[in-house]
Amino acid sequence: MQTIRQLAPAEKEQVIASVLQLLRAETEVKDLADLKTRYPDEWLAILIPEGEDRYSPRRGRLIAHSPDRSFVWQQVNSLPASEDIYVFLNGPVATKGFGITFHDTTDTPLVATVGG
């Protein structure tokens, strides 16, 4: 029996693609509210099923989750480009008291303060 390290690069890609396909097939569609409760303060990548709003889905299949953003994006980048994936941070974007600056198309800064 070979380990994945002993395989040729093309064979590695095929094995990884097969495992990812199997994981997607076995993962059931869940409500995002349930996933948010289960994985607080983590990055989540959700495969959006047909019929869902791709910009604001209410349900999907969990592809990856982690407090580490780069881990989640590595998983997403290994998927075919044809998949609709919704990636978001399930927690606060900034700590209370910090300011965030947004720029509109006319480059006029708008400032929002988190937590009043």
Per-run averaged pLDDT (10 residues), the chain, 116 residues: 75 72 64 93 92 91 90 87 89 72 59 52
Dist. CA 50–CA 38, nearest whole Å: 24
- In this prediction, residue 79 carries a pLDDT of 83
- In this prediction, residue 59 carries a pLDDT of 94
- In this prediction, residue 99 carries a pLDDT of 66
Dist. CA 116–CA 107, nearest whole Å: 24
- In this prediction, residue 16 carries a pLDDT of 74
Q: What six digits make up the tokens of 31?
A: 């409500």
